[in-house]
Amino acid sequence: MGEPRFLVVRLGSLGDIVHTFPAVAGLRESFPNARIVWLTHPRWELLIRSSGLASEIWATETRSLSSIRGIVRRIRGAHFTVAIDYQGLWKSAGLPLAAGVARRIGFSSETIREFGVPILYTDRVSCVTTHIADQNGELSLRAGAEHGVAGFALRVPEEDEAAVWDYLRRAAIERYIVLSPGGGWRSKCWPAERFGALCQMIYRALGVRCVVNYGPGEGDLAEAVRGAAGDARPLLYNGKLGQLMALLKNCCCVVGGDTGPLHLAIALGTPAVALFGPTNPARNGPYRSQDIVLRVAGAVRDHSRREETDASMLAIQVDAVFEAVRQRLGASL
């Protein structure tokens, strides 16, 4: 029979890919010599490569018909033993089907967000675990892995580490804490003025400056944090993925909501304080770490993606976050 040939499908996004790494590591641990091809969006190639888990990374742009046609032809020619769709969307499930992969593993309707997608799979997994990383691991188990999840390590390119340290030295920063105020939707974000107040408390009590990381379309949010921080003078940072990895890897602690940079920092081994409200940390929170999660009692899961800040996020006070930062740092400062 020979080694199996796995097509792993996880197109995006940052946090979701990070939560897929343990499951693909489970595959790699059980099948060290297998061909594992990871299908993703071009912007995440570096991240996946940094894990060392995939034999090959194939990129596709699902909004381009020519890209879809090309990747379907490439999949068809590779004769995969099984495709595992860790994403659970029509676009991710449809590619292996269109390419004629005979065995296609995915989530059952109880887990999947888009209605009807499981009809495209030959193997539909009804999950018994809660965290999304463990649920991904259940797909790996169905594919034959001995353990659904396993450990992994991310390698940050040396040139990105050097570039970030140069940037920080020019700002006279050696030790720093990263604040990540953004998010895919604003209702799960802690208010910018509170991040600014936290920045002030950290600077005055601990003597450490903060770096505010922000992504596309979040420049106004970062400026609002800096405006509220006053003489704490946080540095605003908006860099490429490799440099973001370097920034997160080398900071003392990261503070953020349920966002990709928070999960990436945790995967890099960085201490974290996670602020949760309308999303459930039991499913999406820090995975198998010693990190601190703040979420008020009575917070209700709500994925309606509203623009106004959720009441459960407003209930998280600045003093509580600062004490969590101090606790997470322990004796390191």
| Residue closest to 139 by CA, chosen among 208, 174, 92 | 92
Among residues 49, 59, 283, the alpha carbon closest in space to that of 156 is found at: 49
Q: What is the mean pLDDT of residues 239-252?
A: 96
The string over 216-250, giving b where at least 16 C-beta atoms fall within 10 Å of a residue's C-beta and e elsewhere, is eebeebbebbbebbeebebbebeeebbbbbbbbbb
pLDDT-derived band at 331 (thresholds 50, 70, 90) equals low
Cis peptide before 289 (omega within 30 of 0): no
Which pLDDT belongs to residue 186? 83
Transcribe 125-178 into DSSP letters.
E-----SHHHHHHHHHHHTT-SSS---------HHHHHHHHHHHHHTT-SSEEE
Instruction: Tell me what the pLDDT averaged over the chain comes to.
Output: 95
**Are 265 and 272 within 8 A, CB to CB?**
yes
Question: How far is it, in rounded angstroms, from Cα 111 to Cα 188?
Answer: 21
- Give me the pLDDT at residue 172, please: 94
Bridge partner residues of 85 (DSSP): 9
Per-residue pLDDT for 294 more than 70? yes
Report pLDDT digits (tens) over 162-171. Answer: 999 999 999 9
- Kindly give, in sequence order, each residue whose CB lies less than 8 Å from that of residue 264, ignoring residues fewer than 6 positions away: 14, 15, 18, 47, 244, 245, 248
Reported pTM: 0.95
